[in-house]
Amino acid sequence: MLETFVETDRFNGTCYTAANWTHVGTTAGRGRNDVSRQRRLPKKEIFLYPLVRRFRDTLCFDSS
């Protein structure tokens, strides 16, 4: 599974939509090193692209 983030203040993400990437949501704009829980970065749209056809079977594998 590939993941990418698109800053919508600067870009539309049209190329990802046209290339069959799946839009899954929006970030909170906090960043990974945030400890103060305040928005300091621009919000970004999250797109995913599966690398294998039956990716749900692989991601949801039950080992028990």
Q: Model confidence over 7-31: pLDDT tens digits?
A: 988 998 899 999 999 999 998 877 7
Q: What is the DSSP letter of 56?
A: H
Q: C-alpha distances in angstroms, 40 versus 10, 49, 50, 63?
A: 16, 27, 30, 40
Measure CA 11 to chain center.
Answer: 15
Residue 54: per-residue pLDDT: 83
Q: Taking the C-alpha atoms of 20, 62, 5 and 28 in order, what is their torsion angle to the nearest 10 degrees?
A: 130
Reported pTM: 0.73
